[in-house]
A = this chain, B = another copy of it.
Amino acid sequence: MHQLSKKIKVAVDAMGGDYAPQEIIRGAVMAAKKGNVAITLVGHEAIVERELAKYDVSHLPLDYVSADEVIREDEHPALALRHKPNASIAVATALAKEGEADAVVSAGPTGATMASAVMSIGLIPGIQRPVVCAPLVGFAPHTVLVDVGANVDCNPNHLLSFAVIGCSYAKKLLNIAHPKVALLSVGTEEGKGSKLTQASYPLLESSNLDFIGNIEGGDILSGKANVIVCDGIIGNVILKFYENMGPYIVRWLKDRLGNLPLLGPIKKVLNHMVSFTKMVEDESGCGGLLWGVNSVVQVLHGNSQAQQVSKAIERAKFAVESELVSYLTSELAKVTNKHDITLNESISTPKI
């Protein structure tokens, strides 16, 4: 077994999530038992102590830092952070900023985690907002869709940065040495699409990425492209549409099969299909990474339980070991475009 000379330190927001603090702390204990990672729980002292008392943690690399406040789902992220400087997510990201933690994991409100990460840790040059990648797994295991998150109103430079992030994802996490990049649009010809895709095409084409042109919706799952670039609203809609197809597919199949008795293996496969959402989520856990933040920050669904928390901690550890942040930083600095200026310079001059 590979033994790291120095344990990777992960700050876990103990108070964020529907099942916090119980499931978060149970997951952290699970991850700590697996070894090779040191965990700092961040949360209300009395509550964290009470939960930890349920386990034998005396020999585990597990400690905690006190944070009295919590940000709720219905609060405005930036405002809440201003009014609650001692919120668990703020304290957790501060640990990363100060080098006390190598990574942060939170199942709290994603907006608050993003805002806290940006305000406290900051962004890599060339990035304006954290970017979320969605590996499509399931039907398209060699393809990642970027952005599926917060970047809803984009300019061409955003899309170029998404392409760089997507390539970093494909190289480091999907083991694709030479990822092919495509731009999602309504037709394959350069002139097809919105003002955004029309303006982004030449920027991608003249870059040093392997840009194969526009791709239509029907080819998303074809594997023709390893990285599919789009604004966050299209990406988010496509991802959620895809993740949630399972039950509709199975209902349609069962309606047509009528009363036909199904063999066990077929039933099993159909049950697997119904839980397609969960499968996509489980397999695409690295999709929870906030790309572009200057440290590893892994977000989790609010409804995550101990198993998911433990996995997220392992993934955060893997992201640190893989040096994803410094890799992306250097990839962003290297990207060229037809204006022959750096992404960071050009990004301040939106084209549309």
CB distance from A114 to the nearest CB of B (A): 13
Task: Quickly give the copy total for this chain.
Answer: 2
CB atoms of B218 and A244 under 8 A apart: yes
Q: Which A residues between 163 and 214 are near B, CB-CB below 8 angstroms?
A: 184-186, 193-195, 197
A220 CB within 8 Å of chain B: yes
Interface string of A224-251 (1 = CB under 8 A from B): 0000001111101111111111001101
A350 CB within 8 Å of chain B: no
**With A153-B194, A185-B233, A194-B153 as contacts: A244 and B221 at CB distance below 8 Å:** yes
Task: A269 to B273: give the CA distance in the assembly, Å.
Answer: 16
CB atoms of A248 and B221 under 8 A apart: yes
A8 CB within 8 Å of chain B: no
A260 CB within 8 Å of chain B: yes
CB atoms of A260 and B266 under 8 A apart: yes
Q: Size of chain A's interface in residues, with CB distance under 8 A?
A: 48
CB distance from A223 to the nearest CB of B (A): 10
**With A218-B243, A236-B186 as contacts: A249 and B248 at CB distance below 8 Å:** no
Contact residues in B for A232 (Cβ distance below 8 Å): 186
Partner of A217, one of B138, B240, B253, B269: B240
Interface centre among A194, A217, A273 (most CB of B within 10 A): A217
A272 CB within 8 Å of chain B: yes
**With A260-B263, A260-B265 as contacts: A217 and B236 at CB distance below 8 Å:** yes
**With A152-B194, A257-B266 as contacts: A248 and B218 at CB distance below 8 Å:** no
